[in-house]
Chains A and B, each alone.
Chain A
Amino acid sequence: MSEPAAKKEQYSVIGKSVPKVDAYDKATGRARYTGDLKVPNALVGKILRSPHAHARIISIDTSKAEQLPGVKAVITAKDVPSVMYGISPARYDENIFAVEKVLYVGDKVAAVAAVDEETAVKALNLIDVEYEVLPPVLDPFRAMDPDQPQLHEQYPRNISVEIHQNFGDVDKALADAYHVRTDTFSGTRAAHVPMEPHAALSKWEGGKLTITCSTQSPHYFQYHIARVFGLKMGDVRVLKSYVGGGFGGKLEPSGAEYVSAALAMKTGRPVKLVFDRWEVFVHHRGRHPQHITLTTGVTKEGKLLGCHARFIIDGGAYTSLGIASAYYAGAMLPLIYMFDHYRFDGFRVHTNLPSCGAQRGHGAPQPRFAFESQLDMIAKDLGMDSIDIRLVNARKPDTMTPNEFKVNSCAFTEAIQKARRISGWDEKKGKLASGKGIGIGCGGFISGNGYPIYRTRLPHAGAVIKVSEQGDIATLYTGAVDIGQGSDTVLAQMAAEAMGIDFEDIKLVTADTETTPHDFGAYASRQTLMSGWAVKEAGEEVRRQVLELAAEMLEANVEDMNVDRRVIYVKGSPEKSIPFERVANEFFITRGPLVGRGKYAPPKLGGSFKGAPVGTSPAYSFAAQISQVETDEETGQVMVTDVWDVHDCGQVINPTLLHAQVEGALFMGMGEAMYEAMVFDANGKPLNANLGDYRIPTALDVPQVVSDLVDSYEPAGPWGVKEVGEGATLPTMGSYANAIYDAIGIRIYDMPLTPEKVWRAIEQRKRQEREAAEKK
């Protein structure tokens, strides 16, 4: 699969760590995020949220709030469309404001628009809501019991999604196995914690709604907002300013847009609404806490035969993107190791807690933690090395998973071997000083989703490149969304490469439903591959037109023409050359605008069973991560000192950005592994919805990271690319848990691996050892 090295060297712009296009603006503070935007005459919007996890709304009295000077509008459910929204059409179950019942602490009840934030906050306090408090459902294991209160009428027994998928004959595989293990693991409600909170600035002018917001997908926002307000999509323009992180939480409208739009329509003035940190936490839509039971069978040699995975997934109050998360949880499990027999039974249940949705690695990281932990336990049972058992089972290129995902390139084996080598595994495993340990975890992820979230025949990405009349610059118009990950930079590199001009020659207009071609946005690790294809096609169309004209001008054959870094020349006779800008300028004069267009739609992917589309992708990344830890056995504190990550992510467009994605994803995985969990009191009130008590790793906490690559080329990606942004989140929890086991012989089944939990496990082991000694 590997592309010949000679060809790689021909690239002039891709494969190089050009600086991010927005680095200067961000480093100097010049970058303006939605909350920083100032427009004349704008009002400030604020949302009144429920203090109860489950309650019936008896009455709402807004009269006092309306009388407060400076208040321009107070709205509740009766003032806004009653159209339900959500993200999967089968489960639209949210209203802009709660109609009859509130379902979690933080549910939206009313909103105000006022001349400033202070007045808006005062007004919120003047809204009188009378509630009848209902008993909340807080325990996902009990949520399905018949005696539990019901959250939604349309979901009996609080079952949000029920999934049963069966491939091959798992029962027989387990019966034939030499060794079978069943273990149960659980994850937490970890949050995205974007530095920039959700925010929207809405304008309503001449029947047109314009919303500038912090979004991962202007397209989906436009689609849903138009639907809810009964507007033509063309009358809703969604665009973004700089976005300070999304991680999955800004893929669906948060309410900031719906509410600010409703307030703008009511007042006729622009309305800006920015969540505070508490709102970001309670709105959530982050990780689902999953409870995962795996029954896995292997041969004597450690070859995986089959696996039965059972999930209880706490979805919180609403469905959000959770239907997809629930499918992903099971669908991604058979990706990285080869086995034929797989069954997956899952229940996503509703509780009166913040709704869960998509978060980096979408549904897959916790099951991956479970599988990587169990695989280590199996290796130990068999007396095998943890890496050897992975090598025995590692997926091979050009194979198919039991759930019919087609894998083209796959350098997973090479990644594991390289991680083994650079980490010094063979010298360390089982041989480190007391309290120190080393562990491996692996992962793999989609490079873009095979199917969009709602049914549509639109291609997944489009791009237009317009070369200036002078030919000195080219503007790339793409709907792809840079949320900090650097897609603008990567796509500009691709555009320049495709056209044969320099990176510095590219200007960008991005992520605006009105001025840029459609793109589904930044999620599912899709843009480098999918938006990249559209950009490549557009760039090549420009290149073809320029070379045709240049051939005429130089009186040469078009097949003999080439362009590299703005110089167009005849292959073999470089003295016959002409600058790109001269030809482009001539093009405009004689033929009109020089424009290239591109689009990308993936081929038909996946099987035909229920839920088959979830997890399909044109290409998959693979990764091996090895972590080294030091534990303080007296306090249970664990320090991760080093991590080696080796990725198969196809051809690399910008190495610095790639390694930054690996580090960021890994640190996010680390947070979920070591620190992060939203916690609630007995009434469902969040106890740590702030950045002091909900701890994410700081720069001082993170380990030394070596991020490395294996040579790889993906035929389904432009220039051979695959994903990296999400996949690197997957191996971390498992590799930490396995390293802790190596260090102190303690197996922790539930995240996060807090010192107290580790200490308790150590104490329990000591007790057991004492009891065993006494028996003797």
Chain B
Amino acid sequence: MIVPEFDYLTPQTLNEACALLGEYGSRAKVLAGGSDLVVKMKNGLLKPDYIVSLKNLQDLKGIRYEAGTGVIIGARTTHNRVVENEILRERFPSVSAAAGTMAAYQVRNIGTIGGNLVNAVPSADMPPILIALSAKARIVGLSGERLVDLEEFFLGPGKTVLNQDEILAEIIIPDQATTGSSYIKFGLRRAGSLAVAGVASSVMMDGEMAEDVRIVLGAVAPTPLRAREAEAVLRGKKVSQELIEQAGKIAAAESKPITDIRGSAEYRRHLVDVLTRRTLKTAIEKGHV
């Protein structure tokens, strides 16, 4: 439970930060809220020689709306800001609600949305809903910046598309009319528990028709997983209880859960079924205008 020694660096600009990361390579680690990083360091799982703190990069903080683009969330925005933010509550209340399922109040005061994404654990609560809403990551590195679909962002547990010199700057949730969305986390207590399974759904409605559907499963595969076959059940169809039930079953079959101390693979698969149905229902109701 001792944090190993390291040099603490506090770049003033994003460029400077990328330069430091480029220079020190795998010996450096970015620090946002530290609620993942410091825990790993204390447990001896990580021993970075350099900590590159983002604390002076004010641009990475905050939530704003840009017409034509959507809602833009700075990577350093803490979960409690996401929970409380008026723009999000109005436009994407499911994102605020998902942030509210994270950890506990105290951890939500320090943990950031960027840290949650880059940390890339399979049970993370923010990726499913953001992927369901087709969010994009704005990534900045030494050679400039790029936009990546969040869906393409995750490569495996703890692995993302970020290069060593890159920093996740912003998350962009594009405008999407008549779309309802919902995330349900199934945890084993009401605070401070990781998802046994989590499902996010978004449905773009056209009258009674589900014009587009995205179902994203968390904690049941090495990365957040789109249940594409389940989506197809509903896409372009008139929604019905039968189709929702069918989608739940198919999503369960698409999931690739493991058994661990939080739950068996069988139970997780069952939860995917239940949560898919429940999130779809809510999304459809909210998508109706």
Write the residues of chain A forming the contact surface with B, with a CB cutoff of 8 angstroms: 117-118, 121, 276-277, 634-635, 637, 675, 679, 687-688, 691-693, 695, 697-701, 754-756, 759-760
- The contact string, 1 if C-beta is below 8 Å from chain A, for chain B 243-264, is 0000000000000000001111
Nearest CB of chain B from residue A11's CB, rounded to whole Å:
41
**Nearest chain A residue, comparing its CB with the CB of B278:** A634
Is there contact, CB below 8 Å, between B261 and A635?
A: no
What is the bound-complex CA distance between A635 and B184, given in angstroms? Answer: 12
B92 within 8 A of A: no
Is there contact, CB below 8 Å, between B189 and A698?
A: yes
Is there contact, CB below 8 Å, between B190 and A701?
A: yes
Of the stretches B127-135, B149-157, B266-274, the one at the interface is B266-274
Is there contact, CB below 8 Å, between A756 and B264?
A: yes
A-B contact pairs, 11 of them (CB 8 A): A117-B2, A637-B186, A675-B188, A675-B189, A688-B261, A692-B194, A698-B104, A698-B192, A755-B188, A756-B264, A759-B270
Taking A634-B274, A679-B261 as contacts, is the C-beta distance between A756 and B267 under 8 angstroms?
Answer: yes
Is there contact, CB below 8 Å, between B267 and A759?
A: yes
Taking A276-B1, A692-B194 as contacts, is the C-beta distance between A687 and B261 under 8 angstroms?
Answer: yes
Is there contact, CB below 8 Å, between A692 and B192?
A: yes
Question: B147: which A residues are within 8 A, CB to CB?
Answer: none
Is there contact, CB below 8 Å, between B191 and A754?
A: no
Taking A121-B2, A688-B261 as contacts, is the C-beta distance between A700 and B190 under 8 angstroms?
Answer: yes
Question: B270: which A residues are within 8 A, CB to CB?
Answer: 759
Question: B192: which A residues are within 8 A, CB to CB?
Answer: 691-692, 695, 698
**Nearest chain B residue, comparing its CB with the CB of A688:** B261
Write the residues of chain B forming the contact surface with A, with a CB cutoff of 8 angstroms: 1-2, 104, 186, 188-194, 261-264, 267, 270-271, 274
What is the bound-complex CA distance between A755 and B271, given in angstroms? Answer: 11
Question: A697: which B residues are within 8 A, CB to CB?
Answer: 189
What is the bound-complex CA distance between A759 and B2, given in angstroms? Answer: 41
> Among the listed B191, B261, B274, which residue makes an inter-chain contact with A698, where contact means beta carbons less than 8 Å apart?
B191
- Most chain B beta-carbon contacts within 10 A, residue among A277, A637, A692, A756: A756
> Among the listed B2, B188, B271, which residue makes an inter-chain contact with A695, where contact means beta carbons less than 8 Å apart?
B188
Nearest CB of chain A from residue B39's CB, rounded to whole Å:
9
What is the bound-complex CA distance between A277 and B43, given in angstroms? Answer: 12
Question: A760: which B residues are within 8 A, CB to CB?
Answer: 267
Question: A692: which B residues are within 8 A, CB to CB?
Answer: 192-194
Taking A675-B189, A756-B267 as contacts, is the C-beta distance between A635 and B104 under 8 angstroms?
Answer: no
Question: B194: which A residues are within 8 A, CB to CB?
Answer: 692
> Among the listed B186, B191, B261, B262, which residue makes an inter-chain contact with A700, where contact means beta carbons less than 8 Å apart?
B191
Is there contact, CB below 8 Å, between A693 and B261?
A: yes
Taking A121-B2, A276-B1, A688-B261 as contacts, is the C-beta distance between A695 and B189 under 8 angstroms?
Answer: yes
Interface secondary structure of A, over-half rule: loop
Question: B262: which A residues are within 8 A, CB to CB?
Answer: 693
Question: A693: which B residues are within 8 A, CB to CB?
Answer: 261-262
Nearest CB of chain A from residue B135's CB, rounded to whole Å:
27
Question: A700: which B residues are within 8 A, CB to CB?
Answer: 189-191
What is the bound-complex CA distance between A117 and B190, given in angstroms? Answer: 35
Question: B186: which A residues are within 8 A, CB to CB?
Answer: 635, 637, 755
Nearest CB of chain B from residue A275's CB, rounded to whole Å:
10
Question: B193: which A residues are within 8 A, CB to CB?
Answer: 692, 695
> Among the listed A118, A277, A635, A637, which residue makes an inter-chain contact with B2, where contact means beta carbons less than 8 Å apart?
A118
Nearest CB of chain B from residue A477's CB, rounded to whole Å:
38
Nearest CB of chain B from residue A757's CB, rounded to whole Å:
10
What is the bound-complex CA distance between A634 and B275, given in angstroms? Answer: 10
Nearest CB of chain A from residue B15's CB, rounded to whole Å:
35
Nearest CB of chain B from residue A385's CB, rounded to whole Å:
33
Sort A-B residue pairs by CB-CB distance and give the 7 closest, nearest first: A700-B190, A698-B191, A756-B267, A700-B191, A276-B1, A634-B274, A701-B190
Q: How many A-B residue pairs have CB under 8 A?
A: 47
Q: Known pairs A675-B188, A687-B261, A700-B191. 20 more at Cβ < 8 A?
A: A277-B1, A634-B274, A635-B274, A637-B186, A679-B261, A688-B261, A691-B192, A692-B193, A693-B261, A693-B262, A698-B189, A698-B191, A698-B192, A700-B190, A701-B190, A701-B191, A755-B188, A756-B263, A756-B267, A759-B267
What is the bound-complex CA distance between A277 and B186, given in angstroms? Answer: 26
Is there contact, CB below 8 Å, between B189 and A701?
A: yes
What is the bound-complex CA distance between A760 and B271, given in angstroms? Answer: 12
Nearest CB of chain A from residue B128's CB, rounded to whole Å:
17
What is the bound-complex CA distance between A142 and B264, given in angstroms? Answer: 25
What is the bound-complex CA distance between A9 and B2, given in angstroms? Answer: 56
**Nearest chain B residue, comparing its CB with the CB of A671:** B189
Nearest CB of chain A from residue B211's CB, rounded to whole Å:
28
**Nearest chain A residue, comparing its CB with the CB of B193:** A695
What is the bound-complex CA distance between A277 and B191, given in angstroms? Answer: 19
Nearest CB of chain B from residue A410's CB, rounded to whole Å:
37
Nearest CB of chain A from residue B131's CB, rounded to whole Å:
23
What is the bound-complex CA distance between A695 and B190, given in angstroms? Answer: 11
What is the bound-complex CA distance between A697 and B193, given in angstroms? Answer: 11
Question: A754: which B residues are within 8 A, CB to CB?
Answer: 188
Nearest CB of chain A from residue B244's CB, rounded to whole Å:
14
**Nearest chain B residue, comparing its CB with the CB of A696:** B189
What is the bound-complex CA distance between A697 and B189, given in angstroms? Answer: 7
Nearest CB of chain B from residue A198's CB, rounded to whole Å:
14
Nearest CB of chain B from residue A454's CB, rounded to whole Å:
35
Nearest CB of chain B from residue A81's CB, rounded to whole Å:
30
**Nearest chain B residue, comparing its CB with the CB of A634:** B274
Nearest CB of chain A from residue B179's CB, rounded to whole Å:
26
**Nearest chain B residue, comparing its CB with the CB of A116:** B2
What is the bound-complex CA distance between A756 and B257, given in angstroms? Answer: 15
Nearest CB of chain B from residue A196's CB, rounded to whole Å:
15
**Nearest chain B residue, comparing its CB with the CB of A118:** B2
What is the bound-complex CA distance between A701 and B104, given in angstroms? Answer: 12
What is the bound-complex CA distance between A699 and B262, given in angstroms? Answer: 21
What is the bound-complex CA distance between A691 and B194, given in angstroms? Answer: 12
Question: B2: which A residues are within 8 A, CB to CB?
Answer: 117-118, 121
What is the bound-complex CA distance between A596 and B184, given in angstroms? Answer: 64
**Nearest chain A residue, comparing its CB with the CB of B188:** A695
What is the bound-complex CA distance between A693 and B190, given in angstroms? Answer: 14
What is the bound-complex CA distance between A700 and B104, given in angstroms? Answer: 10
Question: B188: which A residues are within 8 A, CB to CB?
Answer: 675, 695, 754-755
Nearest CB of chain B from residue A655's CB, rounded to whole Å:
29
**Nearest chain A residue, comparing its CB with the CB of B274:** A634
Nearest CB of chain B from residue A755's CB, rounded to whole Å:
7
Taking A276-B1, A687-B261 as contacts, is the C-beta distance between A698 and B190 under 8 angstroms?
Answer: yes
**Nearest chain A residue, comparing its CB with the CB of B184:** A635
What is the bound-complex CA distance between A585 and B138, given in angstroms? Answer: 79
Nearest CB of chain B from residue A177's CB, rounded to whole Å:
40
What is the bound-complex CA distance between A276 and B261, given in angstroms? Answer: 22
Question: A699: which B residues are within 8 A, CB to CB?
Answer: 191
Question: B264: which A residues are within 8 A, CB to CB?
Answer: 756
Question: A756: which B residues are within 8 A, CB to CB?
Answer: 263-264, 267
What is the bound-complex CA distance between A679 and B190, given in angstroms? Answer: 21
**Nearest chain B residue, comparing its CB with the CB of A274:** B1
What is the bound-complex CA distance between A692 and B274, given in angstroms? Answer: 25
What is the bound-complex CA distance between A699 and B190, given in angstroms? Answer: 9
Question: B1: which A residues are within 8 A, CB to CB?
Answer: 276-277
What is the bound-complex CA distance between A262 and B193, given in angstroms? Answer: 40
Question: A276: which B residues are within 8 A, CB to CB?
Answer: 1
Question: B191: which A residues are within 8 A, CB to CB?
Answer: 698-701
Question: A637: which B residues are within 8 A, CB to CB?
Answer: 186
Question: B190: which A residues are within 8 A, CB to CB?
Answer: 698, 700-701
What is the bound-complex CA distance between A688 and B260, given in angstroms? Answer: 11
**Nearest chain A residue, comparing its CB with the CB of B263:** A756
What is the bound-complex CA distance between A209 and B175, given in angstroms? Answer: 71
**Nearest chain A residue, comparing its CB with the CB of B270:** A759
What is the bound-complex CA distance between A759 and B263, given in angstroms? Answer: 12
What is the bound-complex CA distance between A194 and B49, given in angstroms? Answer: 35
What is the bound-complex CA distance between A390 and B275, given in angstroms? Answer: 41
What is the bound-complex CA distance between A760 and B264, given in angstroms? Answer: 11
**Nearest chain B residue, comparing its CB with the CB of A763:** B270
Question: A755: which B residues are within 8 A, CB to CB?
Answer: 186, 188
Nearest CB of chain A from residue B129's CB, rounded to whole Å:
19
What is the bound-complex CA distance between A117 and B2, given in angstroms? Answer: 8
